[in-house]
Chain A
Amino acid sequence: MNVDHIITKISTELGDRLLELDRKSGHRVYFNIAPETVKAASQMMLKDFGARFQIATGIDIREGIEVLYHWALDGDGLIVTMRTLLGHEAPELDSIAVICPAAEWIEREMWELLGIHFRGHPDLRHLLLADDWPRDNYPLRRNHPLPGDGEATP
């Protein structure tokens, strides 16, 4: 499958659940979906495309908290990234760890550092932070207070 076949297949399978699609290059495709579609789209990538879950990214941007899931199609030399945007207040997502065990640890990391709650995660506990880290203290959020003398610009 080359990149154009992938794009056609994604558009056909998701229909109007697909919000936006961006063909960055012959090896890279990004597509946007709503948070509710994440689990179904992941199931699609795993079963219909035979993609391998590489990693997920969580980032706090102006518009909200964006989560990206990176899927590798190794046989075709492609990486397809699934993007979704959550609000800053109480971000929540369905956990894909139940269908894709490779996502367990990165979802734990996104929860503990950004505060995204993953519904249905089998083992949601700290990965990197100490177990006695204060609750509701998410270090990678932009509004996290800067320790030190505060001279560094946020």
Chain B
Amino acid sequence: MNYAINALTRSLNVFHLGGSACNNCDIEILDALTPRYDLERFGITLVGSIRHADVLLLSGVFNKKSAIRLKELVAQAPRPYLVIAIGGCPCTGLMFRDSYNWDRPAGEYVHIDAFIPGCPPKPEAIISGVVKLIGALRSGALVPGSLQEPSGAGELVPDAASVN
């Protein structure tokens, strides 16, 4: 297991972005972090800036307006980072699929490393998803999208090779 993945999968700093979410998934994320399920004892904390984050949590339907912000965030995120889609909305859109607010699944804007479906997913489901993701990264079964070529954010992000 290489040094980067080892460091990445230790204490995860999490940044949350909701794109027109109903916020129930956001509440369940907080439930997972607060003392009843207490992921914070593993060092998993919410951070205030994507530049401090290892993980970008997505919730809610991403429409054209929030997709612009999503792409800017992903361009600012230092590599390597993981993207996790929480809830059914960023995965497939659920009942909002045919609504006026729908543009496309969040996975078409940015490479998503893990999907945790549910409406909202219970904290147990969120924990289970995160544990599976960490296990897959450590075993080498999964390479984070941010480390794959081409880079996950499209034209806004300079290719690593072109920087120097």
Residues in A lying within 8 Å of B, measured CB to CB? 128-130, 139, 144, 146-149, 152
- Chain B residues with Cβ below 8 Å from A129 are 65
Residue of chain A at shortest CB distance from B98? A148
Could you tell me if A146 and B65 are in contact, using CB atoms closer than 8 angstroms? Answer: no
B interface secondary structure, majority: loop
Residue of chain B at shortest CB distance from A145? B100
Summed over the interface, the residue pairs from A and B with CB atoms below 8 Å come to a total of 19
A interface secondary structure, majority: loop
Instruction: Give bound CA distance, A104 to B64, whole Å.
Output: 24
- Chain A residues with Cβ below 8 Å from B100 are 139, 144, 147
Residue of chain A at shortest CB distance from B63? A130
- Chain B residues with Cβ below 8 Å from A152 are 98
**Chain B: number of interface residues, binned into ranges:** 10 to 19
- Distance (whole angstroms) from the CB of B102 to the closest CB of chain A: 8
- Chain B residues with Cβ below 8 Å from A139 are 99-101
Residue of chain B at shortest CB distance from A149? B98
- Distance (whole angstroms) from the CB of A154 to the closest CB of chain B: 12
Interface flag for B132 (CB, 8 Å):
no
Could you tell me if B64 and A146 are in contact, using CB atoms closer than 8 angstroms? Answer: no
Could you tell me if B65 and A148 are in contact, using CB atoms closer than 8 angstroms? Answer: no
Instruction: Give bound CA distance, A139 to B102, whole Å.
Output: 12
Could you tell me if A147 and B99 are in contact, using CB atoms closer than 8 angstroms? Answer: yes
Could you tell me if A146 and B63 are in contact, using CB atoms closer than 8 angstroms? Answer: no
- Distance (whole angstroms) from the CB of A112 to the closest CB of chain B: 11
Q: Could you name 15 residue pairs across A and B whose Cβ atoms are closer than 8 Å?
A: A128-B20, A128-B65, A130-B63, A130-B64, A130-B65, A139-B100, A139-B101, A144-B100, A147-B99, A147-B100, A147-B102, A148-B97, A148-B98, A149-B98, A152-B98
Instruction: Give bound CA distance, A85 to B69, whole Å.
Output: 38
Could you tell me if B98 and A147 are in contact, using CB atoms closer than 8 angstroms? Answer: yes
- Distance (whole angstroms) from the CB of B3 to the closest CB of chain A: 43
Instruction: Give bound CA distance, A149 to B63, whole Å.
Output: 20
- Chain B residues with Cβ below 8 Å from A148 are 97-98
